[in-house]
């Protein structure tokens, strides 16, 4: 599943693998309109992974309602699951978040998250994610 190591695949590969919207977000660093993404108001139990390579990124237990219009998380599933990069586009200085495995653009991180947690808000494009629902079987969590 995790075969990329920092996005070393060709543009041709990504155009074949991803949908048009996924390519725009993950490879061209696009942003979906607020309140339009599949997961902005989604709170089922499970794991959110990179839509490009499948690397696990965020647990549903770290998701919160931020009101910003994009899925928001206070921490990644593992600190090494995402990488931070300086983003100076659109006349702003922000911290971009990319998948550490394939280099796909996920969104940005801000310091206005829940203060009782990490204080961070990982603001992530729904299109850059895929969700794996967890269901209880015999009092244990397992994938569907």
Domain boundaries, the chain: 11-143
Q: Is the pLDDT of residue 4 over 80?
A: no
Q: Is the pLDDT of residue 2 over 60?
A: no
Please enumerate, as own/partner, the contacts of 67-70 that have beta carbons within 8 Å and a separation of 24 or more.
Answer: 68/34, 68/121, 68/123, 69/33, 69/34, 69/35, 69/36, 69/40, 70/32, 70/34, 70/37, 70/40, 70/107, 70/123, 70/124, 70/125, 70/126
Mean pLDDT score, 103-116: 98
Q: Is the pLDDT of residue 103 over 60?
A: yes
Residue 75's pLDDT band, with cuts at 50, 70 and 90, is very high
102 annotated binding-site participant = yes
53 annotated binding-site participant = yes
Q: Is the pLDDT of residue 143 over 90?
A: no
Q: Is the pLDDT of residue 70 over 90?
A: yes
Q: Is the pLDDT of residue 134 over 80?
A: yes
Q: Is the pLDDT of residue 82 over 80?
A: yes
Q: Is the pLDDT of residue 5 over 90?
A: no
* 48 vs 107: CA distance, rounded Å: 14
CATH of span 11-143: 2.170.150.20
Cα→Cα distances 43→15, 17, 67, 82, 107, Å: 30, 27, 14, 21, 19
Q: Any idea which residues carry the catalytic annotation? A: 123
- CA contacts within 13 A on the Cβ side of 80: 3
Percent of the chain whose predicted confidence (pLDDT) is above 70? 88
Q: What is the dihedral of CA 113, 122, 39, 116, to 10 degrees?
A: -30
pTM comes to 0.88
Residue 1's pLDDT band, with cuts at 50, 70 and 90, is very low
Partners of residue 50 on adjacent β-strands: 129
Average predicted confidence (pLDDT) for the chain: 91
pLDDT digits (tens, 9 = 90+) for 39-68: 999 999 999 999 999 999 999 999 999 999
């Amino acid at each position: 599943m995790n075969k990329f190591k920092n996005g070393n695949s060709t543009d041709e590969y990504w155009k074949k693998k991803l949908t048009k919207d996924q390519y725009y977000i993950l490879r061209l660093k696009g942003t979906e309109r607020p309140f339009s993404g599949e997961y902005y108001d989604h709170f089922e139990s499970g794991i959110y992974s990179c839509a490009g390579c499948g690397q696990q990124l965020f647990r549903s237990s770290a998701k919160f309602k931020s009101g910003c219009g994009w899925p928001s998380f206070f921490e990644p599933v593992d600190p090494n699951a995402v990488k931070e990069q300086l983003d100076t586009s659109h006349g702003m200085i922000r911290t971009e978040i990319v998948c550490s495995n394939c280099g796909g653009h996920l969104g940005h991180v801000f310091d206005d998250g829940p203060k009782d947690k990490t204080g961070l808000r990982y603001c992530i494009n729904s299109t850059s994610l895929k969700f794996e629902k967890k269901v209880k079987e015999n009092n244990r969590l397992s994938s569907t």
